[in-house]
């Protein structure tokens, strides 16, 4: 916030006490936004993240197709989850052919699968699939 004395250019009535008071106004009212300096954009990481996300979506399709097309596979996943056997659930999900890191969580209502990808050792993107079974 910036303090300014009220002069005739302000909206204070002339010859009023307000004309002699200090008014606090936001800084953006003084400096137009066109003066702000923004760094140059570099879309490299965004492009890499988008490409990684495309791969994650293809892998998500593998998992979803397997669950949708194989009642036996879906039964195995649900049974392992019901027994709180996270290792078996993860193994089953990985058996669909996905290469990405996957973290599964489940509850009596359904399963969540978080597929993630990294660029240069840092997580760049992830895709969460939430499916209900109850």
Based on the fold, state whether residues 55 and 18 are members of the same structural domain. no
What is the pLDDT averaged over residues 121-127? 92
Based on the fold, state whether residues 85 and 21 are members of the same structural domain. no
For residues 115 and 49, the answer to whether their CB atoms sit within 8 Å is no
State the residue range of the domain holding 104.
44-132
For residues 77 and 93, the answer to whether their CB atoms sit within 8 Å is yes
Number of domains into which the chain is organized: 2
Based on the fold, state whether residues 82 and 61 are members of the same structural domain. yes
Based on the fold, state whether residues 87 and 50 are members of the same structural domain. yes
Based on the fold, state whether residues 31 and 48 are members of the same structural domain. no
Based on the fold, state whether residues 127 and 61 are members of the same structural domain. yes
Q: What is the pLDDT of residue 1?
A: 47
Based on the fold, state whether residues 29 and 81 are members of the same structural domain. no
Based on the fold, state whether residues 30 and 57 are members of the same structural domain. no
> pLDDT grade, residue 117 (50/70/90)?
very high
Evaluate if residue 2 carries a pLDDT over 50. no
Based on the fold, state whether residues 9 and 53 are members of the same structural domain. no
Based on the fold, state whether residues 66 and 86 are members of the same structural domain. yes
Based on the fold, state whether residues 97 and 69 are members of the same structural domain. yes
Based on the fold, state whether residues 53 and 113 are members of the same structural domain. yes
pTM listed for this prediction: 0.69
Evaluate if residue 33 carries a pLDDT over 90. no
């Amino acid at each position: 916030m910036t303090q300014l004395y009220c002069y005739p250019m302000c909206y204070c009535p002339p010859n009023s006490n307000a004309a002699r008071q200090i008014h606090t106004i936001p800084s953006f009212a003084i400096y137009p936004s066109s003066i702000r300096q923004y760094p140059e954009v570099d879309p490299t990481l965004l492009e890499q993240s988008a490409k990684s996300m495309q791969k994650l979506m293809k892998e998500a399709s593998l998992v979803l197709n397997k669950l949708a097309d194989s009642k036996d596979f879906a039964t195995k996943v649900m049974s392992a989850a019901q027994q709180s056997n996270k290792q078996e659930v993860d193994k089953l999900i990985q058996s669909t052919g996905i290469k990405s890191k996957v973290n599964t969580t489940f509850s009596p209502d359904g399963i969540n699968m978080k597929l993630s990808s990294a660029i240069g050792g840092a997580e760049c993107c992830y895709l969460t699939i939430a499916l209900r079974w109850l």
